[in-house]
Amino acid sequence: MAVAESQEVASLVPFLRTCPIVNLVPKLRSLLAGPDLPTDEDHASNQARNIQFELWLGATLWRVGVQVELAQPDLRCTIGEHIFLFACKRLFSVKRLTRRINEATDQLHRSLAHLPQGKSWGFIAISLSRVLSKTNRSEAIANPTEGLEQLASRIEALAQRRAK
């Protein structure tokens, strides 16, 4: 797990170099202060991996040509005249899904209130990595088809558990 996470952080470096240092330093401090393993996380100490998810999404959007800023609620993206805000949430448990969506919605409403209507939108990005993982170890996946099948199966199982 540590190898996979460190590789992910290393892949963020090109994007991180584009971020103003004043916005980046607090995030990197929090990222480096977290527990070494996901099994050592609790609700009070999972901020490091939450931030890693924000930075991963920002880097992914940046790589496809979107202008990305580390700004409230988590990411502010600009495409032409349009502004897209992202509230990133990483679930620690399925039981908190509704609460996390409500928190993200409130964050987006506050941030969008200061932006022009019709040219700005808000999105909630939810990481399911913690709740979909069967183990806290990287898993071998033989090919993309197997990976997509495993992902679909776990999301379906999660949806079924949540529906109850």
Q: What is the pLDDT of residues 126-142, one digit of tens each?
A: 998 877 775 656 667 78
> Where does residue 65 fall: left (phi above 0), alpha (psi -120 to 50 degrees), or beta otherwise?
left
pLDDT value, residue 79: 94
Average pLDDT, the chain: 87
Q: What is the pLDDT of residues 59-83, one digit of tens each?
A: 999 999 999 999 999 999 999 999 9
Neighbours of 92 (CB within 10 A): 17
pLDDT value, residue 163: 65
pLDDT value, residue 142: 83
pLDDT value, residue 5: 76
SS3 letters across the chain: CHHHHHHHHHHHHHHHCCCCHHHHHHHHHHHHHCCCCHHHCCCCCCHHHHHHHHHHHHHHHHHCCCEEEECCCCEEEEECCEEEEEEEEECCCHHHHHHHHHHHHHHHHHHHCCCCCCCEEEEEEEECHHHHCCCCCCCCCCCHHHHHHHHHHHHHHHHHHHHC
**Phi, psi of 101, deg, nearest 5:** -65, -40
pLDDT value, residue 71: 95
Per-residue pLDDT of the chain (164 residues; tens, 9 = 90+): 666 777 888 899 999 999 999 999 999 998 888 877 777 777 777 888 899 999 999 999 999 999 999 999 999 999 999 999 999 999 888 888 888 999 999 999 999 999 999 999 999 999 988 777 756 566 677 888 888 888 888 888 877 776 65
